[in-house]
Structure 1
Amino acid sequence: MRRAIVQNLRTFRRPTPRKAIKSLRISGPNNVVFQRSIASRNLRPLHSSMQFRRLSAPLALGVGAGAIYYAYQNNAAGTSANAATTAASLSGSQARGYTSTPSAAYATSSSSPVSGLEPDQVPEAVRKALIVEQGQLFTAQIPADVPISKETDSSGRKVLEMLTPDQAAAKLRKNEESYLVNRGEGVVRYDVVQIPSNDPIEDDHVEKIVEVPGSTAAAEPGKTSSDWMFWGVFDGHAGWTTSAKLRETLVSYVARELNTTYKAALQDPKLTYPTADSVDAAIKSGFVKLDHDIVHDSVQKVLKAQSKRVAAELLAPALSGSCALLSFYDSRSKELRVACTGDSRAVLGRRGSSGKWTATALSQDQTGGTPSEDARLRAEHPNEPYVTMNGRILGGLEPSRAFGDAVYKWTKETQDKMKKSFFGRTASKHLKTPPYVTAEPVVTTTKVDPAQGDFVVLATDGLWEMLSNEEVVGLVGQWLEKQASASKTSTSTASWLQSWFSTQKASLPVDHHDDGAEGGQRAPIRQQQWGVESGKDERFVVEDKNAATHLVRNALGGKDKDMISALLTLPSPYSRRYRDDLTVQVIFFGNGESTGNVELNKEASATASNGVEGVKAKL
């Protein structure tokens, strides 16, 4: 998650955009072919030589200082030969080249491809390698019979073989899950995927369907119960413990508050259904109570126990933090509520009169840079000029609403006590009148029309850094068209898809642009960083059966398989300079078959091969 605990991380994450890539073939020993990637401000499209796919712009935009070094060794000849590399300084505006010479170096230049290596001399069987050296990024092609050595000399130079497109696809799909909701209650399917960048991943997610008896929530005529359906994504920062806590407990806290509210409405002779304000208040109450337990009750329990083991267990979710985006769908009212704490985002896709989709944001990014949040914080903390600084709370934390993050909620006295007796962090020098961060969400309500096939995408900010609201909705619409076209011989799945579409269009089927700019939503900064032009639909591709995986694939490069492979090859923590943890949920509304169960959709779930059984809907 993009969090500025370290002040200069902001500079790393938002370098000046580079718009083009130059490539260079260099002849080295063992027929190793290197590709030079140079960031440039030249807006003209540049192409690499015929031996290579062009390395995409983001792969040339290394920032900060790297710690991984790479070299190549040919054991067949019994000697080591390390090839020279050329690089661009990506932290400045002017590219520079240099040569690395551990044992055998080869001079390079920035002119045309080096003579002496004709196209027909390039080995047919090659592997690709990814090289990161002091913040610069390269690719290279090496013959299939040349071994790669992990340790080549005393300086600890290492090699990293680039994932093949098939390996990259397998990594994309490793954590994908899809479920068919055959309950006839307005939801037909939901797809989920997670791609880690941090190790371990700091994101988490939850999906739960609760069958509610009519004694709690008045059911529709002819029915004895209704469904409460929950989906949530949790974007952790400074650790994974807070997001894991939310996965385990947030739905239960909210469901208890809703249960009380719905029962109270049934006891009122003037009501058959709770008011909208009371439902919103119940959701907010569930959020706030859980955060109070995490941040404040944990302190009382630790002080009572006087045990560092207990402190380590209870204080971890308080000292780390997490944003939370929780959606609640009531099958009786057909209302979808989205509760947002932080900067994860929900977007609704709905078909317009033209047959294309419209994109509507259902949440607002809540950061210190959001005008409404900045105004709220300054009103709550008058005469504190540093309450927001550079778009961050007290100059440190970016989200203005979050669970945990006790250093922005505890008094200085509590922080000093915890740090002295157990452990903790140093309070900000600007801390005066905490709390500065709240877990109370902003709740929006949308009437869903299952007959029209609405869908909702919930995702952590790792996705929205790469794609706009319009692109996300258009990509799901494109995916739906492809699935409808490909599933004409299928049974139940085809019925709700084919009723919408007849032909597949080449461009993204979106006719309304809602990027949320006026609502405080940020533009995709990775597109700016990588030099990707928005609105270029030809860069997208449909290759996945899981809609969430489809979104992530196109966020990471789409048709540019080199870009996808390189971004997924980089290990943690270096990958965080290029991409964040990614968690995406796509919920499809529709009038599907009613069988009473939620079934694993084996066609779009990686876990299907592991023998995972269908999931019961009742909790």
Structure 2
Amino acid sequence: MVMRGGWILLNNGYIAKRFNDGIKCCSRWYASLPKLTPEEVTRILRTNEFTQELKGSNSFMYYDSNQLASNNPLEDARAEGRCRLTNGLLFGIFDGHGGNSCAQVVSKRLLHYISACLLPREVLDETLKQSRTPEQLREHLLECFHDKTEFVPEIDKLYGESFLSFLGEVSEKYGDSGGLGPQLEKALETAFLSLDNDISSEALKKVKRQIDARTLSVAMSGAVAVVAHVDGPHLHVAGVGDCQAVLGIYSDEEGWSAKVLTVEHNADNREEVGRILSEHPASESRTVIKMERLLGQLAPLRALGDFRYKWSKELMKKIVVPYYGEGAMPPNYHTPPYLTAKPQVTYHKLTPKDKFLIIATDGLWDLLSPLEAVQLVGEHMSGKVTLNSLQPTAGMKLSEINNMLVKRKEGLKKKPLDENAATHLLRNALGGTECGMDHAKVSQFLTLPSEVVRIFRDDISITVGYTDTDFLKNCSL
């Protein structure tokens, strides 16, 4: 089993690293890894699965989600919601680094910022005229699904004050940015950048003449993100970092295909590297990107938080160094900011051939290609019908019943173990082989000791949203 960074989990229980001249560095003995039963594997994989029907929406019928931790605590986060004052649905996936605090805070707040930016000015002004607390305003703007994160009261109050201030700014500057096309792109950019700016301001705000270590820790950690906004057939995807959104497309002639809707912001993206180099003096050309990382340290080249790559040198010395020491100052830190939270936004008009959207952290994409993931969900759609009893409706013709039986017979060949598609992806990412599911491989992945599990897999968070083909057919008429 070859995994992250060239490390290998050998069948005899050793871990080793592959080099050009062979396998070296065999280390600690792990032959005593516990063997999980199929039932135990299933219980672990289904721990965080969730399904939400989207009644009353238009182009999406429901979504499945799931998460599997590698870090302790989990550094990924996810959020989904329905904009109450517009027709939009929002799906977000967030991958934290340097701790879990930034990803958790962003997942709890970003969708509210987006929902406000999408409102026409007159609607937002009317909303602000009514006397509401920040919590009431957030509830008025967005219906959140499966939201379990809670902030302590004093932090929640601070975030509420920031949100009220942000709404006032939106009303003055961006309130007319509702609608689709370039205006919606501007709304998404505004939401990302405004929240990032608030995270910075909150970290620098002194309480009783002291910086709050909790808000500073949020600013010093970071998160990459992908957020999808769906309104009818209009799909916009905003991304910073290396999370991915992939559309599953099916045609009778070509079968399943995958359309990647995000751009990865890392050193493999030469255009992104060129952008960053152009923003700094030529004298820094060898230090801005070093060892394929920003200033030799950070892999993603866009992110929320991570203000150690954004604040001025003076602020770093005054605020950060006293808390975190001299090591918190990145090397060759001459002309900040080096990092931006500005998302790259893509647009796609949905058609009846677009069957589902997968958004996930890089923990999934380290193990599966976009096409592999799409094919797995496509097979899951075909096989899932066999998990429920066959129930012909009154008045059905014999030919229609026969078609149902034919589809069911085909589906039995692909009958999945899991009803939730995100769980199905997890299981196959960990244990799928060309010959089928390898239970021993899944068991190994799930029982790796905490001190080495991060070498072999990252945290994984997945959301799969399913389109309404009949609705999209009517849109295309």
| Fold in common (TM above 0.5) | yes
Q: Which runs of 5+ in 1 are unaligned?
A: 1-11, 24-35, 38-59, 64-89, 97-132, 141-159, 213-225, 265-270, 509-540, 594-619
Residue in 1 that maps onto 2:5: 14
Aligned residues: 403
The 1:135–1:172 alpha-carbon spacing in structure 2 relative to 1, beyond 3 Å, is farther
The 1:491–1:228 alpha-carbon spacing in structure 2 relative to 1, beyond 3 Å, is farther
Q: CA deviation at 1:165?
A: 2.6
The 1:272–1:465 alpha-carbon spacing in structure 2 relative to 1, beyond 3 Å, is closer
- In the TM superposition, 1:550-589 aligns within 5 A as 550-558=424-432, 559-589=437-467
Residue in 2 that maps onto 1:53: none
Residue in 2 that maps onto 1:546: 420
Q: C-alpha distance in 2, partners of 1:499/1:282?
A: 48
Structure 1 residue ranges, 4+ long, deviating more than 6 angstroms after superposition? 497-500, 505-508
Q: C-alpha distance in 1, partners of 2:417/2:56?
A: 28
Residue in 1 that maps onto 2:197: 292
Q: CA deviation at 1:316?
A: 1.1
Q: Which runs of 5+ in 2 are unaligned?
A: 125-175, 394-399, 472-477
Residue in 1 that maps onto 2:339: 437
Q: CA deviation at 1:16?
A: 7.4
Aligned to 1:489, the other structure's residue is in SS state coil
The reply on whether 1:351 has 2:250 as its aligned counterpart is yes
RMSD between aligned residues: 3.2
- TM-score, normalized by length of structure 1? 0.60
The 1:485–1:560 alpha-carbon spacing in structure 2 relative to 1, beyond 3 Å, is same
Q: CA deviation at 1:227?
A: 2.2
- In the TM superposition, 1:401-416 aligns within 5 A as 401-416=302-317
Residue in 2 that maps onto 1:466: 367
Residue in 1 that maps onto 2:59: 186
Aligned to 2:119, the other structure's residue is in SS state helix
Asked whether the 8 Å contact 2:70–2:453 carries over to 1, the reply is: yes
Residue in 1 that maps onto 2:80: 207
Asked whether the 8 Å contact 1:318–1:404 carries over to 2, the reply is: yes
Q: C-alpha distance in 1, partners of 2:311/2:425?
A: 39
Q: C-alpha distance in 2, partners of 1:356/1:488?
A: 27
Q: C-alpha distance in 1, partners of 2:7/2:452?
A: 19
The reply on whether 1:196 has 2:100 as its aligned counterpart is no
Residue in 1 that maps onto 2:294: 393
Aligned to 2:296, the other structure's residue is in SS state coil
Asked whether the 8 Å contact 2:386–2:411 carries over to 1, the reply is: no
Give CA deviations for 1:50-93 in whole Å, capped at 9, x if unaligned: xxxxxxxxxx5545xxxxxxxxxxxxxxxxxxxxxxxxxx6785
Q: CA deviation at 1:365?
A: 1.0
Q: CA deviation at 1:181?
A: 1.8
Asked whether the 8 Å contact 2:118–2:177 carries over to 1, the reply is: no
Give CA deviations for 1:265-286 in whole Å, capped at 9, x if unaligned: xxxxxx9973511110011000
> Aligned AA for 2:378?
G
- In the TM superposition, 1:145-544 aligns within 5 A as 161-212=34-85, 227-260=87-120, 274=179, 276-295=181-200, 297-302=201-206, 305-307=208-210, 310-331=211-232, 334-354=233-253, 356-383=255-282, 384-385=284-285, 386-423=287-324, 426-449=328-351, 451-452=352-353, 454-487=355-388, 489=390, 504=410, 542-544=416-418
Asked whether the 8 Å contact 2:7–2:16 carries over to 1, the reply is: no
> Aligned AA for 1:301?
K
Give CA deviations for 1:228-253 in whole Å, capped at 9, x if unaligned: 11110000001000001111100011
Q: C-alpha distance in 1, partners of 2:122/2:355?
A: 26
The 1:591–1:491 alpha-carbon spacing in structure 2 relative to 1, beyond 3 Å, is farther
> Aligned AA for 1:336?
L
Q: Tell which has more relative contact order, 1 or 2 (C-alpha 8 A, sep 6+).
A: 2
